[in-house]
Amino acid sequence: MADYDKNPSPYLQQAFSENSYRLLEWTVFMGVLGSISNKRVLDLACGDGRLTRVLAHGGASKVLGLDVSSEMLERAMEQNAPGKPEAFPGVVSFDRISATDDLFKWEEQADLVTAMYLFHYARNVDELNQMGRFIGRNLKKGGRFVTYTINPDYDFTNAPVDMEKRIGFRYGIVDPPAYTLLIKDFEVPIWQWGRDEHEEALKKAGLSNIEWHPLEFPPEHQDLMPGWAWYLNNPSCIVLSAHKSD
């Protein structure tokens, strides 16, 4: 059973609640993504399709969402059922495939591979490298990869005790680099990989132009900065992008 099969409701409630973290979460990611129009996109760790649907709304010609959790995929497919306002039949589809699968090949390579929260589910560096290979194999030359991941520089020991109240989630320290993501009674294991480990996994898979993009609020919401200084001084997540060399 995949970790998100157990009881994803607290996670989903958190992921869909409107708060300032949502702004932080989407602003830099979507900015780095740029235009999606007419792109074939592979959305890894798609979960219930939160980003997958945004990609379809943004004009992607085709989006395939992949995830290991049947529970999350069931929710994604339910929302993409014909007749539902969020449905994109023919454009969006979903499948249960792990991003560590060493054989999966999409019918045609993608223009863009997205992964909003993936690499920290790699349980060891071998799995991180498998994810890198998965991306490299399924991305066309000149294509882009954009992910949201646990910040390699995040200091888990320096989090406020009331972090979950402030931001909706918190972390538990297990045996670094092993940690847990906690939301009420929902708990999944995560791992914090280093910059070098992320970059090596991508380079070995033929990706280059690797860039790290710290989270920030959009210009019109700079007023939120003082209240979020505690998080922005030690952000747990970061956006990472790369290109597949021509």
Ligand X SMILES: C[S@@+](CC[C@H](N)C(=O)[O-])C[C@H]1O[C@@H](n2cnc3c(N)ncnc32)[C@H](O)[C@@H]1O
Q: How far is the CB of 210 from ligand X (least distance, A)?
A: 20
**Would you count residue 150 as binding ligand X (CB under 6 A)?**
no
- The angle subtended at Cα 113 by Cα 238 and Cα 21, nearest 5°, is 30
Q: How far is the CB of 223 from ligand X (least distance, A)?
A: 26
Out of 42, 60, 72, 135, the only residue in the binding site for ligand X (CB under 6 A) is 72
**Would you count residue 4 as binding ligand X (CB under 6 A)?**
yes
Contact 94, 168 (CB under 8 A): no
Cβ-based nearer residue to ligand X, 79 or 98:
98
What is the rounded distance in angstroms from the CA atom of residue 28 to the CA atom of residue 239? 7
Cβ-based nearer residue to ligand X, 5 or 200:
5
- Nearest-CA neighbor of 42 among 22, 70, 61, 68? 61
**Would you count residue 106 as binding ligand X (CB under 6 A)?**
no
Sheet holding 186-191, edge to edge: 170-175, 178-183, 186-191
Out of 33, 36, 42, 46, the only residue in the binding site for ligand X (CB under 6 A) is 46
Structure tokens at 190: 């995560």
What is the rounded distance in angstroms from the CA atom of residue 58 to the CA atom of residue 153? 32
The neighbour count for residue 19, using CB atoms within 10 Å, is 12
Out of 69, 129, 138, 151, the only residue in the binding site for ligand X (CB under 6 A) is 69
How many residues sit close enough to ligand X to count as binding (CB under 6 A)?
A: 21
Tell me which residues touch ligand X (CB under 6 A).
2, 4, 15, 44-47, 50-51, 66-69, 72, 98-100, 116-118, 121
